[in-house]
A and B are shown apart, each in its own frame.
Chain A
C-alpha cells in the first residue's frame, strides 16, 4: 500500500458578498472525508466533475496543501511534514503549473532537475533516453520552453516528472487542451509506464478516452466524497450500461421479429440496418441467433459508451 488516506478532508473559508457592504463567511468542504488506498504498481483513474475535489486531493497527497482533517501517507511519509523527502520519491504533472524553466531550453531544465533531485548521471541519461525515444523530444529539446506548443510542453513535463525515478506519479489532467496527436503520444507513453509496472500512477482526467485506454481502477469523486471505487466494468454493471450490436442486412428487417436476450432499439436505412441492445446475455449467442434469423452483410459489437455512464453517474450524484 503506497498511498493511503483515511477521512481526508479539506475545508476552505469563503466569504461572499451579501448586500452592498456586508460579507458572509462560510466553510466549504472541497474534500469531505475521502478514504483511498493505492497499491504499488497500480494505475488509478481519479475522476469527477469540475470542482469535485480531485485537484485538492492530489495536492494533499503531494504535500502542497495541509489537510484540515484525516490521515495521509504516501510512500510511508506524511506529505506536509516530510515534503522535501517525499518530493524526491514522487513525480507530479499539474496541468497548468510548469516544472520547467520558461526561458531555458528543455534540455537545460532537465539538467537542472538532475541536480535538484541529485540523480546519478547514468540513471539520468538512461531515463532521459527512454523518455526521448517514447515521446519524441528530440526535435524540440533545444527550444526555449516558452516557444513550445502545449503538446510539446506536456511531453517535457512528463519527462521532467519521471527523470528522478519516482515511485508514484501524480498527473492532474495531463491531456487537457492537447491536440489529438499529442494526446495519443501521452496515452501511449502512460500505457508503457503502466506496463513496466515500476511506477504507481494516479491520474485525474476529464478525458474519457484516457480512462478507457489506461485505467483499470476508477475512483469517482463528487462533492468531495468517493462515490465509486472499482473497475470500469463494475461501473458499467452498476449503471447497467449495455453493449449494442449494429447489423447491416441484405434484406429489410422483418417487422415484429424479436430475439432472446436483446431489444431492438433502432431500425434505419430502409430497414437494412438494425441496432440491438444486449440484455445481459453474451454477445455471441445473440449474434448466432441473429445470423439464423436474417442474412447478415456486416456486423459490429459496440462497447457501452463510458461518456454516457459517467454523465449518468454525475447526474445521479448531484
Chain B
C-alpha cells in the first residue's frame, strides 16, 4: 500500500513538472482553454440546433436529450484530459523517443499519459462535468439511492471507455504509424455518436456502434436507467445497469492490446 502511494507520488511529480513546463507558454494556453470551452459549448449547441427542428430527437424530450449529450460530453472531455494525447504515441514511435519511456523504471503507458498531459484540456473537462450536473438537475429522474450511485459512476465509466479507445487507437501506431485518422473515427466519431440517442441511427450501423463496440453504454443506456425508461430498442434494463462493466472490459482489452503493442515496438528512427 505504501508502495502504491510512493509510486503515485512519483507520477504526481512528473505530472507537475509537465504542467510547469507548459505554464511557460501560459498566454497561449489560457486562450486555448477558453477557445476549447467555446468549441465544446458549440458542440452541445449543435445537438440542440437539430433538436429545434421538431422539438424532439429520436423520440426523446429536451431534458432527456440534454442528459445524454451531457453525459457523453462529461465522459469524453474527462477521457480527453487524461488520455486524449495518447495519439502522440505516433510521434514517439516515429522518432524513436518511445525508447526513453521504456528505459525508466515506470509503466510506459502511465508515463505516456503523464508526459502528454495537456493542461489546456482542463477547461473543457470542468465544463463537461458541470453540464452533466446541470442535466441531472433538470432531467425528470425518479431518484433512488441506486440511481444516485449510478449517476456518480457512469461519467467515470464512460471516461474509462473513451480512454480505452484513445489508448487502443494509439497502440495501432506500433504497427501502423500513419493510422491517425482511423482512430478518430472511433474517438471523435464515438463522441458524436454518443451525443445523440441511439434510436436515431439505423441498420447494422446502429447495432455495431451501440452494442458491438459498446458506445450505447456510455450515455444512451445509462441515461435510460437514470430516467427509468425502458429501451425502445429492446435491451433489458438489467443489462443497461451493467454499463460500468462494459468500461471495465474495454479497459482490460485496451491494456492487453497495449502490452502486445509494446512488444512489437521496432524502435526505428536512428
Contacts and interface: CB of A to CB of B under 8 A. Distances in A.
Interface in B195-212: none
Interface stretch (A61-69, A211-219, A301-309): A61-69
A116 B267 contact: no
A116 B101 CA distance: 12
B267 A64 contact: yes
Given A65-B267, A103-B21, A97 B100 contact: yes
Interface string A93-117: 0111111011110001000100111
A80 B107 CA distance: 13
A116 B17 CA distance: 12
Contact of B24 (A12, A103, A115): A103
A272 interface: no
Q: Which of B17, B24, B97, B103 has the most CB of A within 10 A?
A: B103
A64 B269 CA distance: 14
B30 to A, nearest CB: 17
B103 A98 contact: no
B103 A64 contact: yes
Nearest to A55: B270
Interface in A105-149: 108, 112, 115-118
Contacts of B264: 66
Nearest to B115: A101
B23 to A, nearest CB: 9
Interface in A184-220: none
Contacts of A96: 96, 270
Interface stretch (A33-41, A81-89, A258-266): A81-89
Contact of B104 (A55, A65, A66, A87): A87
A27 B222 CA distance: 49
Contact of B14 (A56, A98, A116): A116
Contacts of A95: 270
A104 B267 contact: no
A96 B6 CA distance: 31
A101 B6 CA distance: 21
A12 B17 contact: no
Nearest to A63: B102
B263 A66 contact: yes
Contacts of B103: 62-64, 87, 92, 94, 99
B265 interface: yes
Interface string B1-17: 00000100110011001
B105 A101 contact: no
A95 B264 CA distance: 22
Interface residues of B, number: 26
A84 B106 contact: yes
Contacts of B270: 55, 95-96
A118 B6 contact: yes
B266 interface: yes
Contacts of B105: 84-85, 87-88, 116-117
Interface residues of A, number: 32
Contacts of B21: 101-104
A61 to B, nearest CB: 11
Contacts of A112: 13-14, 17
A59 interface: yes
Interface in B92-125: 96-97, 99-100, 102-107
A97 to B, nearest CB: 5
A64 B104 CA distance: 10
B99 A116 contact: no
Contacts of A55: 270
B10 A115 contact: yes
A63 B101 CA distance: 11
Contacts of A64: 99, 102-103, 265, 267
A94 B100 contact: yes
A92 B104 CA distance: 9
A101 B263 CA distance: 25
Contacts of A83: 102
A170 B163 CA distance: 35
Interface in B62-110: 96-97, 99-100, 102-107
A104 B9 CA distance: 19
Given A59-B267, A103-B24, 6 more contacts: A59-B99, A65-B267, A84-B104, A97-B99, A116-B10, A116-B106
Interface of B: 6, 9-10, 13-14, 17, 20-22, 24, 96-97, 99-100, 102-107, 263-267, 270
28 contacts: A55-B270, A56-B267, A59-B267, A62-B103, A63-B103, A64-B103, A84-B105, A84-B107, A87-B105, A88-B105, A94-B103, A95-B270, A99-B100, A101-B17, A101-B21, A102-B21, A103-B21, A103-B22, A104-B20, A104-B21, A112-B13, A115-B9, A115-B13, A116-B10, A116-B14, A116-B106, A117-B105, A118-B6
Listed from nearest, the 4 A-B pairs whose CB atoms lie closest are A103-B21, A87-B105, A84-B105, A64-B102
